[in-house]
Structures are given as structure tokens and as C-alpha cells.
Structure 1
Amino acid sequence: MDDYPLLNLFWTMLWLFVWVMWFFLLFKVVTDIFRDHSLNGWERAAWLVLVLLLPYIGVFIYLIFRGRSMGEREVKQVKEQEAAFQQYVRKAAGPSASPVDELHKLSALKDKGDISQEEFDRAKQKLLV
């Protein structure tokens, strides 16, 4: 362990972290180039060539010129995914019963003696609020 001091280990880990973060940023930019529907084919090709041939300069130029819209597209995609998920949950859960149906079921339970008048009144109050 004497061949590799602790400080060198720290620097190696730091550079590894920076390297991984750089690739994450590069992939994020390339993904955003293809996600942006406002760019035509030539603009996409130009950004892609710039980012891939001159990666450091290309990514930094892209972030300077298109960073704000990149964030807006990300937020838009997250909202669309959330809406699609909510729609799927509603569809999978099936049709929800109306308050009238629920009151009818509560009334039937009360008439059979399964619930008391007080329980019926509490459940009815919850449904009507």
C-alpha cells in the first residue's frame, strides 16, 4: 500500500468521477439534440458533428446556446410521462363508483344491519364532502 498514497487514491477517484460525469453530460446533450423537434435535419447534423468531433467545445457551446430550452424540454417530457402514468392508473383502476352508487351500497349495509346508523352517517358525510 506504500506504492500508492492515500492522496493519489483520492485524486484518482476524483478524476474517475469527473470522467463519468463528462460522459453523462455528453450523452444528455446528444439525447437532447434528437429530442428537440424545433431543429431540422441539417441543424441536428451540425450540432451532432460539433459535439462529436470537438466534444468539450461542442458541449459547452451547446449548453450556452441551448441550455435553457434543454431544461424546458426535460420538464415537458417529465410532465408528459406523469400524465401518461396517471392516465394508465385511472384506466387500470377501472371506472370509479359514483357517490350515488356508494350511498346505495351504504344504505343496503345499514338495512342488513352490517353497519349502525352512526357509521352510516359518518360514511355518508365523507362521501358528500
Structure 2
Amino acid sequence: MAEQMKAYRQASKKGTQLERYATLDALSKVELDLYRMKEAGTVVRGEIGHDAQVTALDMTAKTPKATVSDCVDLSRYEAYDVKARKTIPLPTAQPKRYQATGTLERWKGRWMVTHIDTTRGGAC
């Protein structure tokens, strides 16, 4: 998440280590966000809060897997229009706190994010 925020602050993955922590599926979602941000001339300011907990863990599988549930907190997050030099309010329907789920696999001694789902979680 730290590398993702680093990329969102500049609307680019340049200078980040996203590939070190995210597989193609998860990385492509971040890259799509970055493309849209660059096209719109926006970056992210502030912080996204997290309260992540491992909800499933299988260390006996050939490729160990984990599921992480995260309560995402947007109360200190803001989108910023670089050209207009102003904050863009979040959509009114956007909850300030919501549940997200991540799927991870252990590859070569480190955990890799394989999938992120922010669409099915409710409020937390």
C-alpha cells in the first residue's frame, strides 16, 4: 500500500517498487488508476488509513496463500487537480470507510498481492 500511495501521489509508478509486491492482475488495476489520474491531471494527497487483518492463511499449499481484510479509511485522503490547484471532493456516495479484500501468495520468500477487491465490502 505504501508503494501504491507513492505512485498515486505523482500519478506515475516511476520510482516505485510496485512490481516487487504486486502480480500482473493487481498491478494492472493500479496502472489503470494511474492512467486515469494522469489523463485527468490529478494526484492524491493525504493518507489512506488501513486496519488490515489476515482472515485466511494456508501455509501448507504448494504456493502459500493468504486473504487480508482491510478497513480502508479515506477521512484524510483527497484527490487534487494539479492544473486548477484545488482539491476535488470525493463523490457524495463514496463512503469514508469501507471494507476491501486482498489475496496474496508467497513467491520466492515474499508476499505478493495477486488480487484486490474493493467492490464487495460494505462499511466498516
Name the TM tier (shorter chain).
under 0.3
The two structures have a TM-score, normalised by structure 2, of 0.22
> Max radius of gyration: which structure?
1
Please identify which structure carries the higher strand content. Answer: 2
Normalising by structure 1, report the TM-score: 0.21
- The structure, 1 or 2, with the larger RCO (C-alpha pairs under 8 Å, 6+ apart) is 2
